[in-house]
Chain A
Amino acid sequence: MIVGLDIGSRSIELVGVENGEVILARRSPTTFDPVARCAGLLDGLRPAALVATGYGRALVQRLGLDCQTAAVTEIKAHARGAAHLFPGARSVLDIGGQDTKAMTLRQGRVVRFEMNDRCAAGTGKFLEYTAGVFQIPVEEFGAYALKGTDPPEISAMCTVFAETEATSLMARGARPESIALGLHAAIVKRTVNMLGRVGHEPPLVFTGGVANNPCVVSLLARALGGAVGSDILIPDEPDMTGALGAALCGLDQAARTYSTTPADQLRTAI
């Protein structure tokens, strides 16, 4: 079995692949001790190889595994996973816990990509934080926002200022559901700008935990002028796409020889 491990800022996902089939999927929150969480997810498994991705991908070196390990970026992993699930995919949008990535694909390979830097506005963490203002679990926030009508425009994209703006709109008597819809619309607007910069084309695969949010999906479909299910494709478990892609990269690399982490290449030169 080859294991893909996506160590993100909010959650860790594990996918095990054997003979090209997914045979195992596990997930855990990241917490303050991701190494222990990874070890917990790997408990009882004896992978032939492990490929890590996500912000914590370098942590795999600290797991003390006796199998071969490698690391790929989230960009490559999500592209690989999305292209596997939807072979005709031309673009991928991944909105995770603290970043958003947009990429275009050609024959399953990344051609162009963009990602946010320095600021995590408009990501899963933004939704989680603002859902808290409405005292709603983040999992239900999308359905809640879909009940809104005529959303006010939220101009602040800073998470803290957006909360202030939402609070003052509430004080002025706006419907909370409509304010929530406005917050979702702000995220989608920002995301569509990023997709525009990479020159996205349908079909677009939407991955990452935020693809579970029905309001973001619906607003995105409207903004892009496409239909969900044909132009916008969402995996059954969108948050597992990175781990799946990492495992599949492991298969690709198994065909070649396993290398050490890229950082070591320069040191072992000559």
Chain B
Amino acid sequence: MPDSIHADSPHKAMWETLNLDLSAHDALLEVLGKFYGDIYLSQQNRLRGAEYLDFVLSEVHGLRIKELQEAKAAGRKVVGSFCVFVPEEITLAADAVHVGLCAGAEAGTNLAEQLVPRNTCALIKSFIGFKMARLCPFIESSDLIVGETTCDGKKKAYEAFNEIAPTWVMEVPQTKTPAARALWRSEVKRYMAELERVTGRTITAEKLAQGIRTANAKRRALQRLTGLRAASPAPISGRDALLVNQISFYDDPVRFTTKINELCDELQARVEAGRGVTPPNTPRLLLSGCPMAVPNWKLPYVVESAGAVIVGEESCIGTRNSRDLVDESATTLEGMLDAIADRYMKIDCACFTPNDERLDNVADLAGKLKADGVIHYSLLFCQPYSHEALKMDKALTKAGIPMLSIETDYSMEDVEQLKTRVEAFVETLA
């Protein structure tokens, strides 16, 4: 890892200004660096393009935060969010920076449990813990924190979170009826008005069209990556591909798109040469379910250490975020808002009822990626995805696709049991 991940970082003064708990933050970066070394840098024959991933990750709390401070100094605002429902194209149209907030590690859990019940999922406890323990420079840099009503856990957590970090909440509907779509359309417009208020800028049709193009270009690069992973042998490890998806929430979208397209060029050459990261007979698995935020690499590491390779992530930090594009044909502001609302209403999040299209989408994706099996991942206490795990099992069994259901959190206490279950699943596929 570059030096900045270590305690004697050139970014110390900046972190101090952001009121981070410096010693706890140093400790966090140290653990993160070690974890990254074990899980990522130990891989052999990685892509040249992985240098970008290594660099972005090593500077995720360093140079990237510095860029945010520079943007702020130049009069731009920073918007932090926790969910793929917050429309990035509108943020970009307001010349603001759109970033995901820290939610992928056990941090400040004991503090978070003062604000939310103990049986709350690890992701929610994490973002609250990161704030309370003063460990997330993204949230400390945010001018607007946007929440959303995707599940009861988050909905109620934002009420508590608002006390310590003012949170502006978008109402995501629970069905896909015309009335629900109308509600969401009004929320999209309300978000635009809020951004105009916070940034003091007017969002024009021209600006919004550019925002749509930028966000779509990013999704197209991710779609291209997904497509290349259909090749056998798999040209990229699931861990690296997950990292690409994770970084898509942090890095500048234009730079990210360029770098991921370069990485895809390299992958394409590998695919054409018939080369892969694992032997051709390696069992191929699709991960499906809850998002894995940085640095939640626990399950992918267990899976790929068990002799399988992950060929796709059906999650918000995966295809759920990149599968659908916004229609670019609208010319008026209202037309673009319609197109944005329509695109987001296609998201097959488990917060919707019913959400049967997700079952078809997973079976379809497993087929396209030539997956031998699916590992369904639910965060402990995540009701929406835990429920769908049962439906998914039935649907995939019917489609002849083996599935393993895993329910876990960010702690390491169940790693040995996870290894046994994942290895046993891989054995049944071999």
Contact = CB atoms under 8 A, between A and B. Distances in A.
Contact of B416 (A55, A72, A109): A55
Interface stretch (A84-92, A207-215, A260-268): A260-268
A266 B45 contact: no
A262 B413 contact: no
A115 interface: yes
Contacts of B426: 262
Contact of B424 (A110, A118, A265): A110
A249 to B, nearest CB: 9
A115 B416 CA distance: 12
B420 interface: yes
B306 interface: yes
Interface string A77-118: 000000000000000000000010000000001110101111
B149 to A, nearest CB: 30
Contact of A266 (B43, B416, B424, B425): B43
Best-buried of B42, B418, B424, B425 by chain A (most CB within 10 Å): B424
Interface stretch (B9-17, B162-170, B274-282): B274-282
Given A55-B416, A110-B428, A269-B44, A262 B279 contact: no
Interface string A54-89: 010000000000000000111110000000000000
A270 interface: yes
Given A110-B427, A110-B428, A266 B421 contact: no
Contacts, number: 71
B423 A269 contact: no
Q: Chain A interface residue count: which class?
A: 20 to 34
A267 B42 contact: yes
B376 to A, nearest CB: 14
A7 to B, nearest CB: 12
B428 A262 contact: no
B309 interface: yes
A266 B278 contact: yes
Contacts of B309: 266
Contacts of B427: 72-73, 75-76, 110
Contact of A111 (B42, B237, B423, B428): B428
B418 A117 contact: yes
B368 to A, nearest CB: 23
Nearest to B404: A113
B417 interface: yes
B421 A115 contact: yes
Contacts of B278: 265-266, 269
Contact of A117 (B42, B277, B304, B417): B417
B305 interface: yes
Contacts of B3: none
A269 B234 CA distance: 11
Nearest to B239: A266
Contacts of B305: 262-263, 266
Contacts of A267: 42-44
29 contacts: A55-B416, A55-B420, A73-B423, A76-B427, A76-B428, A109-B428, A110-B427, A113-B421, A113-B425, A115-B421, A117-B418, A118-B413, A118-B414, A262-B305, A262-B423, A263-B305, A263-B306, A263-B307, A266-B277, A266-B307, A266-B309, A267-B43, A267-B44, A269-B44, A269-B276, A269-B278, A270-B44, A270-B276, A270-B277
Interface of B: 42-45, 237, 275-279, 282, 304-307, 309, 413-414, 416-418, 420-421, 423-428
List 8 A-B pairs, minimum CB-CB distance, nearest first: A262-B307, A75-B424, A73-B424, A117-B417, A270-B45, A263-B305, A76-B427, A269-B277
